[in-house]
Amino acid sequence: MIKLFSITSKGEGYTADIFDCGDGGYIFTGDMDVDVDGSPNWRIDPCGQPDTTLHKDGEPINSDAVPGIVLPPECIKFVSDIVLGCKALVTYRGRSSDAVVFDVGPHNKLGEGSAALARRLGINPDPNRGGVDSPEVTYRWWPGIPAVVDGLAYDLQPYGG
């Protein structure tokens, strides 16, 4: 693996190194804030939004139903292949789940996953009292390779930000 750059996670007190895995994928270890954007429950999160950057069939991704991750723009803009809609794999304490990159987070904030992903990994999915506060969740993603999660294929979507 080759270290590409580091991001200091805004307000969370750790720095994560972003690595090229040599197989077309990238990886970092971070915490997990629970993201409920795009779900019917988005209002329970003070920072929640009704929309997501990636859409499926013209609709936002329902983060309560779809295992997905949020990446900061720094992790999207440094590659030439499309990241939104790409394949991801997230691991926490011996549990792993396939996921889709479904949203773009703020600059310098690492480690966000959907409520559906949190449940699959055994993490409390409450966006206000759940998640993981220390950098012990591993995130991998493969730009240019469309995600297939639970038999549902996602289209790659360019990021215009």
We report the CATH number of the domain holding residue 59 as: 2.40.40.10
Q: In the predicted model, is pLDDT for residue 85 greater than 70?
A: yes
CA distances from 133 to 50, 56, 86, 93, 128 (A): 24, 30, 25, 14, 12
Single out the residue of 53, 6, 51, 52 nearest to residue 28, CA to CA: 6
* pLDDT of 161: 67
Confirm whether 161 is domain-assigned: no
Distance of CA 138 to the CA centre of its chain: 11
Residues 20, 21, 24, 27: is their CA dihedral positive or negative? Answer: negative
* pLDDT of 11: 74
Band (12; pLDDT cuts 50, 70, 90): confident
Range of the domain at 36: 2-153
Confirm whether 159 is domain-assigned: no
Confirm whether 158 is domain-assigned: no
Minimum mean pLDDT among 19-23, 103-107, 139-143: which range?
103-107
Confirm whether 93 is domain-assigned: yes
For residues 38 and 21, give the distance between their C-alpha atoms in angstroms, rounded to a whole number: 30
Q: How many domains does the chain have?
A: 1
